[in-house]
């Protein structure tokens, strides 16, 4: 046999082995199927199709467990009994076009905790699912047409991937999308009018990215109602940031690098929730939160606020929760909360500050208190007059201060349904008096251990 003939036979043999190996590859091998997370109801020893191993009756959810490097063409098709199908932690690297089809009853597909690096075009064509979960993969790119044919999609999860940018139009034609989760990537910027072709989009989660400056043009022609920008690198917002967000009701800016809240950003907005915790705020303009008619919840905890201004929240009448925990305030002014008194029972959190002095004028006019939290401050005195104006007090928490004994008539001191005084240097005599009063007033709960 000539050398040439030998080489030709060798090449042919290797080609034959390769074809044979490919034809022998199967999609599902030693894979388990779960109806719940407790125990499998079926095991697939070797098959190229999932359908034959699924229950004949309708089931709510199926989870597929086991190594599946590739979902091959026609492997997940013609399924009419399952609502939610999860491929979780399968080491999945690729979904071939044509792998998914005719999923008549399915409302959610999940491929989280896998190794997908991109989304092939035509993979999700003409599926009628409402939710698509691609979180916790390694997706770095999404071709512009990869998600174009999902007419019923309302929620898309792309969190915890490796996206650095998103092309303009990548989510076009998702006409029913309401919730978009892109948290936990490395996105530093977005194109102008990025959300313009998602007419029903309400909730956008962009936390844990690398965004530094958010331009108002990004949101032009959008109808977003809730925007999460937490854990980015944002140092400030422009005065006209909300110009193209007329429908916005809640914004989350926690864990950024904001140092000040000037006048002009939040005024006259219809926000009912503002979260700016764990930033570096030391300055808030006296008018920063004025004229916010719907604001009910404002979270400013874990900043560097030293002074509480009683003039904040002018013409902002609906506040229900004001959280100022873990700042650097040493005192509260007279009538500190005069601008937020309303018909609602208020929840005021001031724990973890350095407040020393409270007077009968601090809470003057305060009528309804759901929860007044003053834990972990340096308050030395508390007497019967401090909440004299309050008609309703549910929780009063004074734990971990420097109170040796509340002063005055205990019926007024402990007017709250629940009063907490533990971890104060209460005298033994005081604890004895409290115990005696508590025996005579079993409907009031007072926690007052001697320390």
**Is the residue at 111 inside a domain?**
no
Alpha helices of 358-427 — where are they, by DSSP H? Answer: 410-413
Domain count, the chain: 1
| Token reading at 229 | 């920008």
**Is the residue at 333 inside a domain?**
yes
Q: Which residues 6+ apart lie within 8 Å of 216 measured at CB? A: 238, 240, 241, 242, 243, 244
DSSP string covering 190-208: --TTTTTT-TT--EEE--S
**Is the residue at 126 inside a domain?**
no
Per-residue pLDDT at 2: 52
In contact, 88 and 110? CB cutoff 8 Å:
yes
Nearest to 90 by CA among 125, 70, 65, 109: 65
Q: Cα separation of 306 and 328, whole Å?
A: 5
**Is the residue at 81 inside a domain?**
no
**Is the residue at 55 inside a domain?**
no
Per-residue pLDDT at 388: 94
Per-residue pLDDT at 23: 41
Long-range contacts of 22-30 (CB under 8 A, 24+ apart): 25/72, 27/68, 27/70, 27/71, 27/72, 27/75, 28/53, 28/64, 28/66, 28/68, 28/75, 29/66, 29/67, 30/66, 30/67
In contact, 81 and 105? CB cutoff 8 Å:
yes
Q: Are strands 40-47 and 28-34 parallel, antiparallel or unpaired?
A: antiparallel
φ, ψ dihedrals at 266, nearest 5°: -95, -15
Per-residue pLDDT at 86: 97
Q: Cα separation of 402 and 377, whole Å?
A: 8
Q: Cα separation of 197 and 219, whole Å?
A: 11
**Is the residue at 393 inside a domain?**
yes
Which 3 state secondary structure label does DSSP give 28? strand
**Is the residue at 146 inside a domain?**
no
**Is the residue at 428 inside a domain?**
yes
| Token reading at 360 | 């009968």
Element (H, E) at 438: helix 428-440
Domain of residue 334, residue span: 329-451
DSSP string covering 331-343: B--TTTTGGG--S
Which 3 state secondary structure label does DSSP give 64? strand
CA terminus-to-terminus distance, the chain: 99
φ, ψ dihedrals at 248, nearest 5°: -65, 135
Residue 236: CB atoms within 10 Å: 17
DSSP 86: E
Check which CATH number belongs to the domain holding 382 and give it.
Answer: 3.80.10.10
Long-range contacts of 399-404 (CB under 8 A, 24+ apart): 399/375, 399/423, 399/424, 399/447, 400/375, 400/376, 400/424, 401/374, 401/375, 401/376, 401/377, 402/378, 403/379, 404/380, 404/430
Residue 300: CB atoms within 10 Å: 23
Residues of the chain with pLDDT under 50: 3-23, 451
Q: Cα separation of 96 and 133, whole Å?
A: 17
């Amino acid at each position: 046999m000539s050398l040439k003939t030998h080489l030709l036979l060798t090449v042919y043999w290797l080609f034959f082995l390769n074809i044979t190996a490919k034809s022998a590859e199967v999609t599902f091998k030693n894979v388990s199927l779960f109806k719940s997370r407790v125990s499998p109801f079926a095991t697939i020893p070797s098959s190229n199709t999932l359908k034959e191993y699924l229950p004949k009756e309708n089931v709510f959810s199926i989870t597929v467990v086991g190594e599946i490097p590739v979902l091959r063409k026609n492997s997940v098709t013609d399924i009419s009994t399952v609502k939610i199908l999860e491929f979780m932690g399968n080491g999945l690297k690729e979904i071939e076009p044509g792998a998914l089809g005719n999923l008549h009853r399915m409302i959610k597909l999940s491929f989280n905790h896998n190794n997908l690096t991109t989304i092939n075009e035509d993979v999700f064509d003409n599926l009628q699912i409402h939710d698509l979960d691609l979180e916790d993969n390694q997706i770095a790119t999404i071709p512009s047409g990869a998600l174009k044919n999902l007419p019923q999609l309302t929620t898309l999860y792309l969190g915890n991937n490796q996206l650095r940018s998103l092309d303009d139009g990548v989510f076009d034609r998702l006409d029913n999308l309401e919730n978009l989760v892109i948290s936990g990537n490395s996105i530093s910027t977005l194109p102008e009018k990025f959300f313009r072709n998602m007419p029903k989009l309400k909730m956008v989660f962009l936390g844990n990215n690398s965004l530094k400056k958010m331009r108002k043009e990004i949101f032009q022609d959008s109808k977003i109602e809730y925007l999460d920008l937490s854990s980015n690198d944002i140092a400030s917002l422009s005065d006209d940031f909300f110009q193209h967000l007329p429908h916005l009701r809640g914004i989350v800016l926690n864990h950024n690098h904001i140092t000040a809240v000037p006048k002009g950003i939040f005024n006259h907005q219809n926000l009912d929730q503002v979260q700016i915790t764990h930033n570096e705020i030391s300055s808030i303009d006296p008018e920063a939160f004025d004229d916010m008619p719907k604001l009910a919840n404002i979270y400013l905890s874990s900043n560097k606020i030293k002074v509480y201004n009683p003039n904040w929240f002018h013409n902002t009448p609906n506040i229900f929760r004001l959280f100022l925990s873990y700042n650097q305030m040493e005192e509260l002014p007279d009538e500190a909360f005069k601008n937020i008194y309303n018909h609602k029972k208020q929840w005021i959190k001031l724990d973890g500050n350095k407040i020393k002095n409270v007077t009968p004028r601090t809470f003057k006019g305060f009528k309804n208190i759901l929860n007044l939290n003053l834990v972990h401050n340096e308050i030395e005195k508390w007497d019967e007059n401090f909440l004299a104006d309050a008609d309703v007090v549910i929780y009063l928490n004074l734990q971990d201060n420097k109170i040796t004994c509340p002063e005055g008539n205990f019926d007024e001191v402990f007017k709250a349904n629940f009063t907490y005084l533990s971890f104060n240097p209460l005298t033994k005599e005081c604890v004895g008096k409290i115990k005696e009063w508590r025996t005579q007033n079993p409907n009031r709960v007072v926690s007052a251990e001697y320390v």
